[in-house]
Amino acid sequence: MNRRKMLSLLGMSPALLAASRAEAAKTKTKIAKPTAGAGKIEALNPKGIPPPIQLVPMAPRLNSLDGKTIYLVSDGFPGADHFLAQVGLWFKKNMPDVTTMYRLKAGAFADDDPKLNAEIKAKGNAVIMAIGH
């Protein structure tokens, strides 16, 4: 299933991805009808409270990669460094006007790295980030 189909199935709302609706939709379970009656009982929803989601506008894109510097950033998962080396090699072969810079992000996998972010803003134009294995 692609992302648009997934979001469409979920009412185009990213918020729904946080809830159990994905599984509900997937299993196509007959949903309990909200009418009490003989032999029926009422049970409480055990779900907690997800936080509101602040939509984050994506950063403006570049007109072209020619002459630009792309940072190749690893989050530290095994193999990401080798993989990004191959990405650098691909640019060297296919888009030689692009400069690539490899960096290992500081901290745990999901931690922000403000120092690296500042460096990229000052010296780079874009990022390719290898996430996970």
Partner 1 sequence: MGFPTAPMVTIAFKNLALSNAAQRGMPHERICFTPHPVWGKTDAEMYAYLEGNDPVSGKPLMKEVTDALTQPLTADESKSGTVTPDVGPATFIDTSDNLQQYYLDNGLTDFMHIQLPTQEKVDAMLKGTSHHPDEVVGKMCPARGSYPEWSFTVRHVAINAVMAGALPEYLPTILAIASSGVTALSSSTNSFAVAAVINGPIRDKLNMNYGIGAMGPFAQPNAAIGRAWTMVSRNLGNSGMPGQTYLGTFGNSVNYNNLIIPENEKDSPWTPFHVQKGFKPEQNVVSLFVGFSISQGQAGVGLGVKPVPQFHEALRYNMIPFGPLFGALGVLDPLVAQGLVELGFKTKEQLADWLQKNSTISAKDARSTLFGGRWVRDPQTPDDARIPYYAKADSYNFVVVGGQTNPYHMVANMSYRVSVPIDQWA
Residues in 51-90 at the binding interface with partner 1, rule: CB under 8 A: 51-65, 70, 77-80, 82-83, 85-87, 89-90
Taking the complex as a whole, the smallest distance from the CB of residue 96 to partner 1 amounts, in Å, to 14
d(CA 103, CA 76): 10
**Which residues lie below 8 Å from residue 110, measured CB to CB, with a gap of 6+?**
75
Residue 13 engages partner 1 in binding (rule: CB under 8 A): yes
Taking the complex as a whole, the smallest distance from the CB of residue 100 to partner 1 amounts, in Å, to 12
Taking the complex as a whole, the smallest distance from the CB of residue 71 to partner 1 amounts, in Å, to 8
- From residue 36, alpha-carbon distances to 29, 30, 71 in Å are 19, 16, 60
Residue 22 engages partner 1 in binding (rule: CB under 8 A): yes
Among 92, 97, 106, 109, binds partner 1 (CB under 8 A): 109
Angle value at C-alpha 101, between 95 and 104, nearest 5 degrees: 135
- From residue 78, alpha-carbon distances to 11, 16, 127 in Å are 36, 32, 19
Among 14, 92, 106, 115, binds partner 1 (CB under 8 A): 14
d(CA 58, CA 130): 18
Number of chain positions touching partner 1 (CB under 8 A): 83
Taking the complex as a whole, the smallest distance from the CB of residue 131 to partner 1 amounts, in Å, to 5
Binding track over 25-44 against partner 1, x by CB under 8 A: --x-xxxxxxxx--xxxxxx
